[in-house]
Each structure stands twice: as C-alpha cells, then as structure tokens.
Amino acid sequence: MKKAARWIGILLGGLVVLVILALVIIPRFIDIQDYKPRIEKKVAEATGRPFRLGGDMELSLFPWAGVSLSDLHLGNPEGFKERDFLEIQSFEVRVKLIPLIFKDIQVKRFLLTGARVALERRGDGRTSWEGLGRHEGEIGAGERREKEEPSKAGPGKGLPIKALAVGDFTIKDGTILWIDDVKGGRKEISDITLTLKDVSLERPFRLSFSAKMDGQPVSLEGVLGPLGREPGKGDFPLDLAMKALDKLDLRVKGKIVNPAVAPGIDVDLEIAPFSPRELAESLGTKLPLSTADPGALKSVSLKAKLKGGRGEISISEGTLVVDQSRLAFLLRAKEMEKPNIAFDLNLDQIDLDRYLPPNKEKKKGAGKGTEGRNREGKKKKVDYGPLRRLILDGTIYAGKLKVKDIRAEKIKLKIRGRNGVFRLDPLDLNLYGGAMNVVGKFNFQGKSPVSETTLHAEGIKAGAFLKDFIEKDIIEGTLKADLGIRMVGDDPERIKGSLNGKGNLLFKDGAVVGIDLAGMARNVKSAFGLGEQAAEKPKTDFTELTMPFTITDGVVKTSDTRLMGPLLRVLAKGRADLVKETLDFRVEPRFVGTLKGQGDIVDRKGITVPVLVSGTFSRPTFRPDLRGVMEKELKKRLGPAELLEGQGEQQAPLKELEEKAKGFLKGLPFGK
C-alpha cells in the first residue's frame, strides 16, 4: 500500500514538472507573431470594423501567464471624421495560470497605456458605436430566446470567483473624444489615469482617478470595498471624494447594496460650497439660466442622505444652501411609473426676484398672446396624462418670500393629489400686516383643467400690496376679503371668459387715490380736467368701503358698492368686462350733514352729482352724468315727470324747457 502511494506521488510530481516545463518551453518554440493576421481577421469579423495590430505581440505562460501587445487600431465605418474608433498604444496583463483552475484570480499587472476612444454623431444622427459586433439578424433563435427570457435560476449569484488579488491595475494617458455634428459640439476628456492598488475580496482597496475636461482638472480619490467572498452580493462600501476644475468638491460615503442581485444605494452625499458661476466660466460656457441679479448663484452647497433600490428612492436630512437661503428637505418617491411622491420642504427665506430672468422689453411686432402657440398660430395641446398618473403628498413652509416684488411671511402650504385631482388645503400666509387663507381644488381629469378657489384675507394693507403687485397707487386702507371663484382652461383668454363666482371686499380707514369725488361734486370744471390741476394727487377719503360683487363668464358686476366717509356717501353700481377689459360704472356721491362714517347705514339726504366711469382698464375716463342731474333737478322744480313727458298740446315747448334748464343748471354746485 505504501509502495502504491509512493508511485502515485511520483507520477503526480512528474506530471506537474512536465506541465511547468511545457509552460516554459512552449512560448520559446511558438512565434505568436505568426498568429497576428488570423487574430486581426477574427476581430474584424466579430466587430464589423477594420482591425490592425501594428506592434509586436508577446506571450508568456510561467510563472505568470501574460500577453502584451502594442499599436492596436479598431477603425470607424466610412463617413466619420475620425479614422479609428479605438486606439491603444500598449497593453499588458499578467495572471497566474494554475490558480485560475480553482477560480482564484491573481493578477500581477494590468497596464493599459494611450487608449483613445472617439465617440462621434454625424449630422444624419448615425453614431460611430452603432453596429459593433453581430447584428440582431445574426443572433440565433436559441441565443435570442436566452437573451429575452429571464433565467429560471432566480436572481444573480454574483461573480463566479473564490479569491481575487490584483497587485497593479493602471490605465494611463487615456482620451475620450466626443464629436456632435447634430448640435455642433466637440468635447475632450484627456490625460485619463485610473489606478487601483491591492485589490482583494477581504480588504478595502484604494482608487485614484484623474483627467482633464477640455483642459480643466478633474480627480477622484477614495477607498472601495472589501468586495466580499461573493462579489456582487451583499454590501459594497465606498468612500469617495471628487474634485472638479478646482471649483467643486463632492464626497460620497456609504454603500452599494447587492449590486448583482437587487441593486440599491445607501450613501451620504456632500457638496462643499462652490460658485456655479465660476464653475461655468471654468468650463468656458454660461449658466443655463439668466438671473436678474448678476450676483446670484455665487455660493451653493448640499448635504443629503440617499437611499433606494428598484423603483424606490428617498432623500432625507437634506440641506441645500443657495446664497443667503437655506432649505431643509426630505423626499420619497416610489412606483416610478406614476410616480408616487411625498415631500417636506422648509425654507428660511428667499428673494426669488434675484433668480428670475431679467426684465426685457417685448420685441416689436410680437403678437399678443403668442405663448404656447406653434408657427401656424394654433395653441399647443397640453398633455395632462402625467398629472393624472401622479400621486402627490407634500408640505412647504417658507419663513420669508419675495417674488415679483410681493413680500409674504410664514407661508404654509399643504398639497395632495391623485388621479388628476389636486387639493391645496390650505395655503396660509402673512401678507402686508394681515393674513390670508386659500383653499383650492384643481381638476385635470378632463380635456381642460378646472379650478375652484376660496380665499379669505383680513388686515392687509391694500395700498402697499397693490403698489408692489401692480405698481399702481389706486386705493389705501385695511382690506378684508372673502371670495370664491371657479375657472376653466389653460389659456389666459379662456380663463378670463370662464370666471364665475362671488365675493366681497371691505376696506376700512383709507382712500380712493386718483379720484376726488367731493371735488367732482363741488366743481365739475376742475374735477374733470377743465380747470387748473391740483398740486397733490386727488383722492377720496373714506372710513369704510364695501364692494360686494358677482362674476359671470368673466363679467364682474356690483349693484351695491358703498363708500362712507366724513360728509360724503358714495353709491356705485356697474360692471367690468375682464375679457374686453372695459368699464361701465355709475358713481353717485352725496354730501351729508354728519361726520359719522364707518357703520353709518342711514340714507341721508344731500346734493347728488353722479359720475360715469367708462373706457378701458388701462385708460379709464370720468365724466359727470349731466343728463341724470338735469332730470333730477327738473323733477324737483317743474313737478311730476308728466310735465316733461307731456301729452299732446299740454306739453311745454322744448325751447322753453331748455331755457328753464339753463337757469336750473346755474343753481347746481358746478354751475356756480
């Protein structure tokens, strides 16, 4: 038995010696250069591209199995600017051969030098990487079925290796060239260097990457791994720091979860403060957005935790700082085909006017309402399909906000949406010394959106608000408002024509600016621009102004608008057409013998001089209602209306009435 075992050991030892001798001797008797034409032909057939090995090839089998080659060229099809799709100056790899039998990969060196890849898109849209390898028609039925059908073995099992050790992995002097003839651009990433040191399954290993993007430096340093006994399964830790153009510092720390089975991430992301403007200048380009304030976007930083997997991602503990504004946020998204989004945003303060595009005068000849229309002048159809699928649940808080010169504080917004119906319930904010509450419903289920909104506001300083909102000084006082409005459509003209609702505006202790109703009543000549203009802007003071109104298909009507002030009462009725932007009101001021104003509802007697308001929103006109004055005065002095209407021979001659009317007019306030 011992003798047999000894002979078996001798045989195995002899076999090992023979294998080693073969691995050492074979490369000395085989000239691998003789195989270059065959290799070039096989690669050309496999890729469908011209392939050439210009330099020498070397082969070794013991103690390290290795191959090295140089001057490799994989060409482009005809019609592209670059001759080669891929160039490699030199390539060398050395691996221990026998351990490969036991799935133990031991790499002494992997060195790739001077690799250059040219990615090109022609003007007709064709790309240089199309057609690499076999075409779809050349794939066999069995291969296609295997490609299309998922494996019945279940999820991936990771990389089929038991051990890994890489001493030196280096790619250096690499270049990636991008040529786009469609958009007319050319970009180049050069001096690419990638180094991995002491790669193994059990220990973390270091990564170092550097390159130049259009001459600007980019680098990535960090630690990866360990890969684990079953690479691709389990967690893959990472801690990476990236620097770009000496302007941007980014760090990612965490792990990639089950990359080969069910890929996911769980990382902390941090971007140190940087200037987007300076970054864009370093790239030789401009910011994609133009801001009204050239000093905006000079400092941006970000911190957040990212966690997610297939079809789901969450961002928590997020902090975004833009200039002087700080936003804390969290976001969760799942069911990406819808998607289903929940968020919570908390902003300390921001001046949005700084970040909006600068104001520009409209170009001459630009038509009114051309937004959203195509060249034929037809309105583009809006696709509300994504909104019908979206599920939304979010809250927003802002301490201070300025937009379009309007200032608001303590803004709280809650929005929910599902199946194309979104509810704003509620929006609360403090505005110009007062508070506002808005509740809204927005329905996108039909062809045109439908919105219903109710608003309650109280204590708002109307003068300051309107000066900032529309840059007009038309009314002063403290505003209380209640209104409910419904509208349809996404076109401004249709929205105005579909407006329906009602409401009431109540102003206290203020003034109507630009109109002196008392002056109109006292002196028509000066009040309507026929006399000398006053040095100060005219106004009508009041203690209370109430404006109940209804809106029907874009036409605002009021029949009982009342102004009450010291020695003056005003009643107004009429309509404003929001579509045609026209006015038609009759304002009747009346002097009274009391200083009481607010809350005075007694119908007091006084001198009445009606004022007609007409014209357009941009150019309103004011004129006395002379006909109304004459009719009223004639009724008082001549008697009943029958005296004016007359029947047959009893009617007074028209000329005599006109003479009497002239006398009556002298007794009116504006006739003195």
State the average pLDDT over residues 620-626: 78
Q: Do 42 and 104 have their domain in common?
A: yes
Check residues 256 and 610 and name the one with the higher pLDDT: 256
- Residue 149, pLDDT > 80, answer no
d(CA 622, CA 530): 12
Which of 65-69, 339-343, 458-462, 544-548 has the lowest average pLDDT?
A: 65-69
634 neighbors 644 (Cβ within 8 angstroms): yes
Q: Do 500 and 640 have their domain in common?
A: no
Q: What are phi and psi of 79, to 5 degrees?
A: 100, 0
What is the end-to-end Cα distance of the chain in Å, rounded?
147
- Residue 151, pLDDT > 80, answer no
Q: What is the pLDDT of residue 492?
A: 86
Check residues 260 and 460 and name the one with the higher pLDDT: 460
Q: Is 89 left (phi over 0), alpha (psi -120 to 50) or beta?
A: alpha
Q: What is the pLDDT of residue 484?
A: 96
Q: Is residue 32 part of a domain?
A: yes
- Residue 197, pLDDT > 60, answer yes
Tokens linked to 643: 């005296």
pLDDT in tens, 99-118: 776 777 888 888 999 999 99
- Residue 344, pLDDT > 80, answer yes
pLDDT band at residue 637 using 50, 70 and 90 as cut-offs: low
- Residue 572, pLDDT > 60, answer yes
Select from 231, 253, 268 the last residue of a domain: 231
- Residue 209, pLDDT > 90, answer yes
- Residue 229, pLDDT > 60, answer yes
d(CA 456, CA 506): 12
Q: Is residue 139 part of a domain?
A: no
State the average pLDDT over residues 217-245: 88
Q: What is the pLDDT of residue 521?
A: 52
- Three-state DSSP class for residue 147: helix
Q: Do 499 and 519 have their domain in common?
A: yes
Q: What is the pLDDT of residue 106?
A: 82
CB atoms within 10 A of CB 228: 15
631 neighbors 601 (Cβ within 8 angstroms): no
* Strands 582-591, 611-616: pairing kind: antiparallel
State the average pLDDT over residues 178-206: 89
Q: How many domains does the chain have?
A: 3
Select from 231, 260, 292 the last residue of a domain: 231
pLDDT band at residue 570 using 50, 70 and 90 as cut-offs: confident
State the average pLDDT over residues 593-614: 59
d(CA 432, CA 497): 30
Q: Is residue 567 part of a domain?
A: yes
pLDDT in tens, 89-102: 999 988 877 677 67
Q: Is residue 72 part of a domain?
A: yes
State the average pLDDT over residues 515-525: 59
Peptide bond into 640 cis (omega under 30): no
Q: What is the pLDDT of residue 561?
A: 93
Q: What is the pLDDT of residue 374?
A: 55
Which of 122-131, 302-311, 477-486 has the lowest average pLDDT?
A: 122-131
State the average pLDDT over residues 52-72: 80
Closest CA to 446 of 387, 372, 492: 387
Q: What is the pLDDT of residue 39?
A: 85
State the average pLDDT over residues 211-217: 85
Which residues span the domain enclosing 654?
Answer: 634-672
Tell me the percentage of the chain whose pLDDT exceeds 90.
43
Which of 315-329, 583-597, 642-656 has the lowest average pLDDT?
A: 642-656
Q: Do 182 and 110 have their domain in common?
A: yes
Check residues 67 and 353 and name the one with the higher pLDDT: 353
Q: Do 537 and 640 have their domain in common?
A: no
d(CA 195, CA 210): 9
Q: Do 611 and 641 have their domain in common?
A: no
Average pLDDT, the chain: 80
Q: Is residue 583 part of a domain?
A: yes
Which of 194-203, 329-338, 534-543, 608-617 has the lowest average pLDDT?
A: 534-543
| One-letter amino acid for residue 226 of the chain | P
Q: What is the pLDDT of residue 256?
A: 92
- Residue 210, pLDDT > 90, answer yes
State the average pLDDT over residues 116-122: 93
Q: Is residue 447 part of a domain?
A: no
Q: What is the pLDDT of residue 631?
A: 63
- Residue 378, pLDDT > 90, answer no
Tell me the percentage of the chain whose pLDDT exceeds 70.
74
Q: What is the pLDDT of residue 56?
A: 80
Q: Do 651 and 583 have their domain in common?
A: no
Q: Do 59 and 117 have their domain in common?
A: yes
pLDDT in tens, 473-518: 888 999 999 999 999 998 888 999 999 999 999 999 998 887 776 6
d(CA 340, CA 311): 10
Select from 212, 231, 250 the last residue of a domain: 231
Q: Is 17 left (phi over 0), alpha (psi -120 to 50) or beta?
A: alpha
pLDDT in tens, 279-293: 888 877 788 888 999
Q: Do 578 and 649 have their domain in common?
A: no
CA dist 565 → 29, 375, 513, 599, 602 (Å): 117, 55, 14, 10, 13
Q: Do 561 and 596 have their domain in common?
A: yes
Q: Do 594 and 672 have their domain in common?
A: no
Sign of the CA dihedral 307, 313, 316, 319?
A: positive
State the average pLDDT over residues 257-263: 85
Helix H, strand E, coil C: the string for 564-586 is: EECCEEEEEEEEEECCCCEEEEE
Q: Is residue 277 part of a domain?
A: no
- Top mean-pLDDT range of 12-16, 196-200, 646-650, 653-657: 196-200
- Residue 611, pLDDT > 90, answer no
Q: What is the pLDDT of residue 376?
A: 53
Q: Do 591 and 638 have their domain in common?
A: no
d(CA 625, CA 609): 7
- Residue 520, pLDDT > 50, answer yes
pLDDT in tens, 33-54: 777 888 888 888 888 889 998 8
Q: What is the pLDDT of residue 514?
A: 77
CB atoms within 10 A of CB 557: 16
pLDDT band at residue 366 using 50, 70 and 90 as cut-offs: very low
Q: What is the pLDDT of residue 588?
A: 85
State the average pLDDT over residues 381-391: 91
Q: Is residue 274 part of a domain?
A: no
pLDDT in tens, 418-451: 999 999 989 999 999 999 999 999 999 998 999 9
